[in-house]
Amino acid sequence: MYTKILVPMALDHGVSTHTLGIANALRSSGGEIIALHVHEAPQGSVSAYLDEATVAAGFDRARAELEDKLSDHPHVTPVIVKGHSSRTIIDYAASHGVDCIVIGSHKPGLSDYFLGSTASRVVRHAGCAVHVHRASS
C-alpha cells in the first residue's frame, strides 16, 4: 500500500474513475491521493498572439474545471501546475514524496514507439512505482 499517490489527469480526457479507483484501492489507511493536471503553455508562435491576461485566464479556467470535475471525490486533492506533461509529472512526484503514480494510457500506436507517450515516459523515468491503466479500445 502507498501513502502518497499521484494521479495525472488531462482535462480534455475527463476525470478517469478507473485511475482514481485504482489509486483508492492502492492507498494505505490515512494515505493521500493527488490529482495533478499539467497546464502546458501555448507553444511557438501562438504565444506571440496571446497576452498575459489571456494566458492567466486560461490557467484559472483549467483550475476551476479540475476542481469541478473532482467535486464528487472529496478524498482527492486537486493540483494544477504549469509545465511539460511527462517531465512535470516526474518532477512533481520526486519533489513531493510521491510513492506511486497511477496513470492512464491508450493502446500505443507506431508513433508512440518513436516519440513515447506521456505514460511511457513516466514509466521510464519516475523514481517511484508506476501503475498504468490501459483503457480498453
DSSP-assigned letters across all residues of 53-91? HHHHHHHHHHHHHHHHHTTT-TTEEEEEEES-HHHHHHH
Q: What is the mean pLDDT of residues 111-124?
A: 75
Per-residue model confidence as pLDDT tens digits over 76-85: 999 999 999 9
Q: How confident is the model at residue 136 (pLDDT cuts 50, 70, 90)?
A: low
Average the pLDDT over 86-99 and give the result.
Answer: 97
Whole-angstrom CA distances from 85 to 9, 49, 61, 77 are: 10, 23, 18, 19
- Determine how many CB atoms are found less than 10 A away from the CB of residue 69: 16
The mean pLDDT of 25-52, rounded to a whole number, is 86
List residues bridging with 102 in a β-sheet. 131
* Helix extents (H) in the chain: 17-26, 52-69, 85-95, 110-115, 118-125
More confident residue, 89 or 47: 89
Residue 60 cell numbers, joined: 484559472
Other Cβ atoms less than 10 A from the Cβ of 115: the count is 10
